[in-house]
Structure formats: C-alpha cells, structure tokens
Amino acid sequence: MIPELGHYALMLALGLALIQGIMPIVGTRTNDAALMSIAAPAALAQFVFVAIAFLALAECYVASDFSVLNVYENSNSAMPLIYRLTSIWGNHEGSMMLWVSILAFFGALVALFGNNLPVTLKANALAVQAWIAAAFELFILITSNPFLRIADAPFEGRDLNPILQDPGLAFHPPMLYLGYVGFSIAFSFAIAALIEGRIDAAWARWVRPWVLGAWMCLTLGIAGGSYWAYYELGWGGFWFWDPVENASLMPWLAGTALLHSAVVMEKRGALKVWTILLAIIAFSLSLIGTFLVRSGVLTSVHAFAVDPTRGIFILAILVVFIGGALALYAWRAPLLKQGGLFAPISREGALVFNNLFLTSACATVFVGTLYPLALEALTGDKISVGPPFFNATFGPLFIPLMLVMPFGPLLGWKRGDIVSAAQRLLAAAVLAAVAVAAAFAIEHGGPVLAPFGVGIAVFVMAGAVTDIAERTMILRLPMRATLMRAIGLPRSVWGTAFAHFGIGVTLLGIVAVTAWGSERIVAVKPGEIIDISHYRLTFDGVFNRPGPNYRDVVGHFTVRRASGDVIGAMEPSRRTFPARNMATTEAALMSRGFSQLYLSLGDPNPDGTVPVRLFFKPHVLMIWLGAIIMFFGGGLSLSDRRLRVGAPRPAKAKAKDKPALQAAE
C-alpha cells in the first residue's frame, strides 16, 4: 500500500508541476494576475506530494519491505537504521527521488519567501522551476521507478554496496544535491529575466542568497565526499580527478564565479549579461554532473546505473534545458541594458579577473573530463586523462587567482589604487616570504616548488586577515575603537575574509600533504616494527570481530613516538560482507594535530604476513578544515542584513528597512 501511495503521489506531483509550469507563463503573457498567482500554491502543493512520495520510499526502507525491488536490491534487514535510510540515495532511483525532493523544496521556499519579488518575475521563475521538476519527475516515473514491486517477495535484501555503508554517505550526497539543485534557482531566475527581457541590480540581490546557500552546501558536499574517499577507499588520496569528482567541482567553480559576478551586478549594475550566462552555466554543469554520474557513461565507483534508456532520457533533458537556455540567451541577452563603467584596476576589475580564471579553470576540467568520452564516441580510441593533465592545467590557472585574491577586497569600487593596496599587503607578503624560507629550512625533500606553494597559501590567509585589520584599523586606533569597528563591519565583509582564509587553509593542507607526505608499503609479521616520520608502529597481530552485517579481520598496531612512549593503538580492518560476498578496507586513522597517520590492510599472504600500507599525512586535516571555514564564511555573509533585505522578508518590514539600507551604503 505505502509504495503505491508514493507512486501515486509522484504522479500527482508531476501533474501539479505541469500546471505550475504552464499557467503562470500564460498569465505573464496575457497579464492575468489570477493565472500568475497559481504559481506559488502549485509549488507548495507539488512539494507536499513529492515529500509524500519520498517519505513513502523512506518508510519502505525503514520497514525493510523487500517486496519493493529497489529496497530488495539495496537494503538488508541486518543493516543499522541509519544505513537503511542512507541506502535510499545510495542507488540510482532513490537518489533521483532525493534530487526531485530538494528541487521541489527549493521551489516551495521561493513560493513562501518570495513575497517581495515582482509578481511577473516570481511567476516566471517558479514556472521554469516547475519545468525542471516535471522533466525529472517524468524521468523517474518512466525509467527509474523506485516503487516497482516484485511478485514473489524475497525474505532478505541484497544489501547496500559495502563501500557506501558509511556515516559519510549520510551527509555527502544530500549536501551535494542541495548545492547542485540550489543553482536551479539562479537558473530559473535567469531564464525568467530573459523571458521578461528586463534585469536590474535588484535581480542580483534576490538571487545572491540562493547562490550563496547552494555554494555553501556544494563546498561542504565536495569536502565531505573527498574525506569519504580518503578514509573509505583505502588509497589515502583526497582527490583523484575522477570524472565523478570533476562533475561536482565544475559547478563549484562556475558557482564561485557567479557568486562574485553577482556582487558586481548588485553593487554596480555591471556584468549583467555575463552574470546571467554564469547562472545558466552553473546549473547546466550541475545537470551535466547528474548525467555523468547517473547515466553510467563512466567507469567509476559512482556509476551504479548501466542502462542506456536512462542515459538517453537524461541526455534529452540536458539538450532541452541547456540548449534551450543558451538559445534563449542568444536571442534575448542583447536586449538587456549595459551597466556601469569601471577602470581595469578596481574591485570590479579584480572580480572580472577572478571570473576569467575561474571559468578558464572550469573549462580545462570540462575538457579533461569529457574529451575521453567524445574521442571514444568519434574514433573508438579509449584514453584516460589522469591527474597529470589536471595538475598541468588547473594548477597554473589557480596560482594567479590565489595571488590576486588578497588584492580584490582592498581595491575600491570603480577605480582602485594598486600601489596603496600593495603597500597594505606588504606585511602579508613579508609573512609569506618568511613562510617560504621556513619551509625550505624545515622540510627536506619534496618538490622544489612546494615551499612557494606554502608561501602562496600564507599570503592568501594573511591577505584575508589584512582586509579585516585595515577595516578595523587595528593598532592604529585604541583597542576599544577597533573592537567597535569590528562589530560594526558588515557581516558580508567578515564572510569574505573567512571564505578567503579558508581557501588558504585548504591550499596549505594540499601543498603539505602532496609535497611532504610519506608512504610505506610492507608485508609484516606479528611483532615487526614499521617506522614512519617520527612514529614507530608495532604490529601485534590480527583478530576477528563480528559486526551486524559483516565480519572484520582486524589488525592491531601499537603506535609509539620515536622516543618510545606509547601514544595509542590503530586497528585497521578488512571487512567482509557476506550478503554481497564483497570485502572493503577499513583504514585506521590517528590524528596528531592537523596531521594524520593512515593505516590500511591488504589481504593476508599465504606465508602469514599481512600487507600494510602506512601513510604519514602532514597537515591533511587542513584540506577539509578550510572547506568548513569557507562554509562558515558563506554563512556569515548569508546572515548579512543587507543580503536578507532582498530575500525573504514580509512586505511590511521591507518599507521600514529601505531608508536604513540607503544610509548604510
């Protein structure tokens, strides 16, 4: 009964999405306020029915209803509740349900909180949102129905793919989807603006909170996925330039560019046409990401679906939405009015620089990810484009970006003074130089360029601090006055500083781990000792440990400092899942400050030795810590009053805020 209810609710949601997609557009064309006002209640109702469908699926998983094919294939009654819930999105059908649920959720948010939007813009944007929802609901109903039943219900399910049975997977896909789908709002607003042929600075003010929210979720989602791959796959790498990872990185790069160009548009009314294009690109890349992961065109851990009809359906969605949006853009964009002027050296100029490099970096990732597919389709040659390609293209494009980043916030709008900005960054530059020298002195081995990488990271971090120091006039005013200034600073300024600082932290982690990480691969017998960096590990032996739906073969290692005192034990294991006859490597991690010891086991050899892979990862935690700082910065910026004014706020409060707003600027 429950699955049928869910299936039916999804069909009703599709019907509602079609109404929401057609009526408001007709309304804006014929100037019919009644038709336009259908959009908001339809969006809310659509969300309610999609939510019912999603909850129905969740209930099937919680109750372990193996008469539902999707549950049978991906769940097992022995799994803990949390993994039964996460297996909802650990497979193709369920993850598409999650995608649509989030899409409908965002649509409902716009409907609820968009009271201060112009009526036509709101109606059109919700209609575009509904078209996306309708396409994906149709996709689920036709090719990927999660509610299919099996005639003879089996007693037990096939279990979730073991590498997905991990707490990280409870968090990473929903965050990623919140990011992907969040860009759909910017997309819908961009299309709505193109349909109307009119756009102004206020548009950027409405869209920016959505972009910022999506960017925050995507940042955390990518970082979460990276950490999951780091500890779960047992290879100790944090980024593999795998197509699936690239699929999430591309929208992030485009979204970061969009975030910055929207600032220019909001403050200065410039870059309108470009911002609209970026909004289209950011969501298009999200769609392409979905296509890459979900269609099975890639050989990758994430490609669960190997079904061509799905691929063709998603391809059709891509062609219609991306092609349609770009065609509309080509037709309508010339109608949009040009914005304000600015000198090349100015805040706007710096943000344009940011956009140029971010989009170019995004383009190199795009080419590297899709070229092998295109070549195989055209010539049949199979090639792989691996990390060397991305390191050789992405890296050089990112270095100038990092070097210019601290200058941006220090330059004035319209016309900036680069000499004065450089003077103010002098302290940061000196600090960076000291860091380079220190890195040369302390670390031995590793690439020659690595200390300069440290220097750039320190420059970025110190640059972010400089911005705040300059604005609060620290050391030049009494402590109290500085504090008052710090409190009075707009939160978006703090947000910028935190986000930029976070980039520096992540960069520092990447440089340190790549340049000075060490690795030992050995086969050990009980009692043997492995030395790495300043640590000494003793292998004590293996023992068995049963789990709820798996068996662990655990290796026990005692960790000592080089001086001899014991600092703990590490227990990596080989985990066998009988339901799938599959084994995974469960690495053991020990954090020492920001650094980590990383230990994983191989299959025991016939002679009784156990292959062991031991890494020392200096400052590796900074990579993800930086992402969390970026997320926090985004959150600060999102809580800025000035941003909120354009977004959710009842009509009454708006009138009150307007004068205050003008005074603040």
Q: Return residues touching other proteins (CB under 8 A).
A: 154-156, 158, 161, 163, 234, 242, 298-301, 306, 341-344, 352-353, 356-357, 360-361, 363-364, 367-368, 371, 381-386, 388-389, 392-393, 396-397, 521-523, 578-585, 600, 602-603, 605-606, 611-613
Nearer to other proteins, 568 or 578 (CB): 578
Cα–Cα–Cα angle for 369, 97, 313, nearest 5°?
55
Q: What is the 3-state secondary structure (H, E, C) of 621-641?
A: HHHHHHHHHHHHHHHHHHCCH
Tokens of 50: 């999609």
Least distance (Å) between residue 233 CB and other proteins: 9
185 bridge partner residues? none
- Burial of residue 590, with CB atoms counted within 10 A of its CB: 0-12 exposed, 13-18 middle, 19 or more buried: middle
Q: At which residue do the structure tokens 């020659």 appear?
A: 448
Least distance (Å) between residue 609 CB and other proteins: 9
Least distance (Å) between residue 319 CB and other proteins: 23
Nearer to other proteins, 241 or 494 (CB): 241
Least distance (Å) between residue 409 CB and other proteins: 20
Nearer to other proteins, 341 or 449 (CB): 341
Nearer to other proteins, 321 or 390 (CB): 390
- Give the length of the chain: 665
Least distance (Å) between residue 339 CB and other proteins: 11
- Burial of residue 33, with CB atoms counted within 10 A of its CB: 0-12 exposed, 13-18 middle, 19 or more buried: exposed
Closest CA to 506 of 612, 619, 393, 382: 619
Nearer to other proteins, 216 or 305 (CB): 305
Tokens of 343: 């000198």
* Rounded CA separation 39/129 (Å): 10
Q: CA quadruple 76, 82, 88, 91: dihedral positive or negative?
A: negative
* Rounded CA separation 286/362 (Å): 13
| Residue 71 · residue 157 · CB < 8 Å | yes
Contacts of 146 (CB under 8 A, 6+ apart): 6, 57, 68, 70, 93, 94, 96, 97, 140
- Burial of residue 24, with CB atoms counted within 10 A of its CB: 0-12 exposed, 13-18 middle, 19 or more buried: buried
Least distance (Å) between residue 240 CB and other proteins: 9
CA within 13 Å, CB half, 133: 40
Least distance (Å) between residue 523 CB and other proteins: 5
Nearer to other proteins, 356 or 590 (CB): 356
Tokens of 371: 């070229």
Least distance (Å) between residue 587 CB and other proteins: 11
Nearer to other proteins, 283 or 353 (CB): 353
| Residue 217 · residue 164 · CB < 8 Å | no
Q: Cα-flanking dihedrals φ and ψ of residue 556, to 5°?
A: -110, 125
Closest CA to 540 of 599, 481, 496, 491: 599
Least distance (Å) between residue 184 CB and other proteins: 27
* Rounded CA separation 73/37 (Å): 43
Least distance (Å) between residue 249 CB and other proteins: 16
* Rounded CA separation 467/493 (Å): 9
In one letter, which amino acid is 459? F
Nearer to other proteins, 66 or 624 (CB): 66
614 bridge partner residues? 520, 599
Nearer to other proteins, 166 or 242 (CB): 242
In one letter, which amino acid is 489? L
Nearer to other proteins, 466 or 584 (CB): 584
Nearer to other proteins, 38 or 276 (CB): 276
Least distance (Å) between residue 306 CB and other proteins: 6
Least distance (Å) between residue 100 CB and other proteins: 25
Contacts of 16 (CB under 8 A, 6+ apart): 42, 45, 46, 49
Least distance (Å) between residue 284 CB and other proteins: 19
H helices of 114-242, in order, are 119-143, 168-196, 201-232
Nearer to other proteins, 12 or 356 (CB): 356
Nearer to other proteins, 556 or 580 (CB): 580
Q: What is the 3-state secondary structure (H, E, C) of 58-88?
A: HHHHHCCCCCEHHHHHHCCCCCCHHHHHHCC
Least distance (Å) between residue 165 CB and other proteins: 13
Nearer to other proteins, 141 or 375 (CB): 375
| Residue 613 · residue 599 · CB < 8 Å | yes
